[in-house]
Amino acid sequence: MRIDERKYPFKWMPRIVEMFEGIDKGLSSFQIARTIGSCSPDASEVLKLMVYLTSFGKVVESDGNWKIIVSPFNIERNQSRIRIDYIKGLDLLIQNLSNDFVPIEELISINGRDTAETQKELEFLSLITKKGQFFIERKRFPQKFAFKPWEIS
Protein backbone atom coordinates (compact mmCIF):
# COMPACT_ATOMS: atom_id res chain seq x y z
CA MET A 1 0.00 0.00 0.00
CA ARG A 2 1.32 3.41 -0.87
CA ILE A 3 1.21 6.20 1.66
CA ASP A 4 -1.32 8.89 0.98
CA GLU A 5 -1.41 11.30 3.91
CA ARG A 6 -4.96 12.28 3.02
CA LYS A 7 -6.31 8.77 3.53
CA TYR A 8 -6.97 6.44 6.42
CA PRO A 9 -4.96 5.50 8.47
CA PHE A 10 -2.03 7.70 7.49
CA LYS A 11 -3.77 11.07 7.60
CA TRP A 12 -4.11 10.97 11.38
CA MET A 13 -0.73 9.61 12.47
CA PRO A 14 1.28 12.84 12.05
CA ARG A 15 -1.50 14.77 13.79
CA ILE A 16 -1.38 12.35 16.73
CA VAL A 17 2.37 12.87 17.07
CA GLU A 18 1.79 16.65 17.04
CA MET A 19 -0.88 16.30 19.74
CA PHE A 20 1.68 14.88 22.12
CA GLU A 21 4.24 17.68 21.62
CA GLY A 22 4.79 19.20 25.04
CA ILE A 23 2.55 16.62 26.72
CA ASP A 24 4.10 14.01 28.98
CA LYS A 25 0.88 12.37 30.10
CA GLY A 26 -1.30 9.87 28.32
CA LEU A 27 -4.47 10.73 26.45
CA SER A 28 -7.57 8.59 26.15
CA SER A 29 -8.63 7.19 22.82
CA PHE A 30 -11.73 9.42 23.06
CA GLN A 31 -9.63 12.58 23.51
CA ILE A 32 -7.46 11.62 20.55
CA ALA A 33 -10.45 10.74 18.34
CA ARG A 34 -12.14 14.05 19.13
CA THR A 35 -8.98 16.05 18.40
CA ILE A 36 -8.21 14.36 15.08
CA GLY A 37 -11.85 14.43 14.03
CA SER A 38 -12.51 10.73 13.67
CA CYS A 39 -14.85 8.19 15.19
CA SER A 40 -13.53 6.15 18.11
CA PRO A 41 -13.28 2.80 16.25
CA ASP A 42 -11.18 4.36 13.47
CA ALA A 43 -9.00 6.19 15.98
CA SER A 44 -8.48 2.99 17.98
CA GLU A 45 -7.34 1.15 14.84
CA VAL A 46 -4.89 3.94 13.96
CA LEU A 47 -3.56 4.06 17.53
CA LYS A 48 -2.91 0.30 17.51
CA LEU A 49 -1.08 0.63 14.18
CA MET A 50 1.10 3.37 15.70
CA VAL A 51 1.87 1.18 18.71
CA TYR A 52 3.00 -1.54 16.33
CA LEU A 53 5.06 0.68 14.00
CA THR A 54 6.89 2.49 16.80
CA SER A 55 7.67 -0.76 18.63
CA PHE A 56 10.52 -1.50 16.21
CA GLY A 57 12.58 1.54 17.20
CA LYS A 58 13.48 5.04 16.02
CA VAL A 59 13.96 5.50 12.27
CA VAL A 60 16.73 7.98 11.42
CA GLU A 61 18.40 9.26 8.26
CA SER A 62 21.92 10.45 7.55
CA ASP A 63 23.21 11.42 4.11
CA GLY A 64 20.51 9.47 2.29
CA ASN A 65 21.09 6.30 4.31
CA TRP A 66 18.56 4.98 6.79
CA LYS A 67 18.67 2.90 9.93
CA ILE A 68 16.56 1.95 12.87
CA ILE A 69 17.87 2.45 16.37
CA VAL A 70 16.38 -0.31 18.44
CA SER A 71 15.17 0.81 21.80
CA PRO A 72 16.57 -0.77 24.97
CA PHE A 73 12.98 -1.16 26.11
CA ASN A 74 10.40 -2.90 24.05
CA ILE A 75 6.86 -2.33 25.08
CA GLU A 76 4.58 -5.10 23.89
CA ARG A 77 4.28 -5.46 20.12
CA ASN A 78 0.77 -6.85 19.75
CA GLN A 79 -0.08 -7.94 16.22
CA SER A 80 -3.11 -10.01 17.09
CA ARG A 81 -5.69 -7.24 16.79
CA ILE A 82 -4.27 -4.93 14.15
CA ARG A 83 -4.90 -4.94 10.44
CA ILE A 84 -1.44 -5.29 8.94
CA ASP A 85 -2.90 -5.02 5.43
CA TYR A 86 -3.13 -1.24 5.93
CA ILE A 87 0.59 -1.01 6.48
CA LYS A 88 1.94 -3.97 4.50
CA GLY A 89 4.58 -1.93 2.64
CA LEU A 90 5.65 -0.02 5.76
CA ASP A 91 5.78 -3.24 7.76
CA LEU A 92 8.12 -4.86 5.23
CA LEU A 93 10.29 -1.76 5.04
CA ILE A 94 10.67 -1.25 8.79
CA GLN A 95 11.45 -4.92 9.38
CA ASN A 96 14.33 -4.70 6.89
CA LEU A 97 16.02 -1.72 8.52
CA SER A 98 18.92 -2.53 10.81
CA ASN A 99 21.19 -0.85 13.35
CA ASP A 100 23.59 -0.07 10.51
CA PHE A 101 22.82 2.59 7.94
CA VAL A 102 21.28 1.07 4.81
CA PRO A 103 21.39 2.92 1.48
CA ILE A 104 17.97 3.76 0.11
CA GLU A 105 18.80 1.74 -3.02
CA GLU A 106 18.82 -1.48 -0.97
CA LEU A 107 15.49 -0.58 0.59
CA ILE A 108 13.99 0.10 -2.84
CA SER A 109 14.81 -3.44 -3.91
CA ILE A 110 13.05 -4.76 -0.79
CA ASN A 111 9.75 -2.94 -1.20
CA GLY A 112 9.66 -2.80 -5.01
CA ARG A 113 8.78 0.89 -5.15
CA ASP A 114 10.55 3.81 -6.75
CA THR A 115 12.98 6.09 -4.93
CA ALA A 116 10.48 8.88 -4.27
CA GLU A 117 7.87 6.53 -2.79
CA THR A 118 10.43 4.73 -0.62
CA GLN A 119 11.82 8.08 0.56
CA LYS A 120 8.30 9.24 1.44
CA GLU A 121 7.65 6.05 3.44
CA LEU A 122 10.94 6.37 5.33
CA GLU A 123 10.26 10.02 6.14
CA PHE A 124 6.81 9.03 7.38
CA LEU A 125 8.31 6.35 9.66
CA SER A 126 10.89 8.84 10.90
CA LEU A 127 8.12 11.34 11.71
CA ILE A 128 5.96 8.94 13.70
CA THR A 129 8.91 7.44 15.60
CA LYS A 130 10.66 10.74 16.44
CA LYS A 131 8.99 11.38 19.80
CA GLY A 132 9.33 7.90 21.22
CA GLN A 133 7.63 4.57 21.39
CA PHE A 134 3.86 4.88 21.36
CA PHE A 135 2.21 2.48 23.78
CA ILE A 136 -1.02 1.65 25.54
CA GLU A 137 -0.69 3.19 28.97
CA ARG A 138 -4.02 1.89 30.25
CA LYS A 139 -5.61 -1.17 28.68
CA ARG A 140 -8.97 -1.01 30.39
CA PHE A 141 -11.74 1.07 28.89
CA PRO A 142 -11.25 3.77 27.82
CA GLN A 143 -7.75 2.96 26.66
CA LYS A 144 -5.10 5.57 27.31
CA PHE A 145 -2.11 6.07 24.99
CA ALA A 146 1.22 7.79 25.54
CA PHE A 147 4.73 8.13 24.14
CA LYS A 148 7.70 6.79 26.06
CA PRO A 149 10.68 8.95 24.99
CA TRP A 150 13.56 7.08 23.41
CA GLU A 151 16.47 6.42 25.73
CA ILE A 152 18.68 6.57 22.66
CA SER A 153 20.10 9.42 20.64
* pLDDT tens, residue by residue, 21-64: 888 789 998 999 998 888 888 888 888 889 888 888 899 999 88
How far, in Å, CA of 107 to CA of 115, rounded?
A: 9
Mean pLDDT of the chain: 81
Q: Is 69 helix (H, G, I), strand (E, B) or coil?
A: strand
How far, in Å, CA of 44 to CA of 39, rounded?
A: 9
**What's the structural domain count of the chain?**
1
**Gyration radius (Cα) of the chain, Å:** 15
Answer whether residue 153 is part of any domain.
no
What is the per-residue pLDDT for 58? 92
Answer whether residue 61 is part of any domain.
yes
Answer whether residue 1 is part of any domain.
no
Q: Check if the beta carbon of residue 90 is closer than 8 Å to that of residue 54.
A: no
- Domain of 49, in residue numbers: 13-148
Task: Find which of 80-84, 105-109, 133-137 is predicted with most confidence, using mean pLDDT.
Answer: 133-137
For residue 6, pLDDT over 70 is answered with: no
pLDDT per residue as tens digits for the range 68-97: 887 655 555 555 556 666 677 788 888 888
Answer whether residue 28 is part of any domain.
yes
Q: What is the percentage of the chain residues whose pLDDT exceeds 90? A: 16
What is the per-residue pLDDT for 52? 86
Answer whether residue 3 is part of any domain.
no
Answer whether residue 112 is part of any domain.
yes
Answer whether residue 32 is part of any domain.
yes
Helix ranges (DSSP H) in the chain? 13-19, 29-36, 40-54, 88-95, 104-111, 115-129
What is the per-residue pLDDT for 150? 85
Q: Check if the beta carbon of residue 55 is closer than 8 Å to that of residue 47.
A: no
CA atoms within 13 A on the CB side of 95: 11
How far, in Å, CA of 33 to CA of 44, rounded?
A: 8
Q: Check if the beta carbon of residue 40 is closer than 8 Å to that of residue 10.
A: no
pLDDT band at 2 (very low <50, low <70, confident <90, very high): low
Interhelix angle for 115-129 vs 40-54, to 10°?
Answer: 100
Q: Check if the beta carbon of residue 129 is closer than 8 Å to that of residue 57.
A: yes
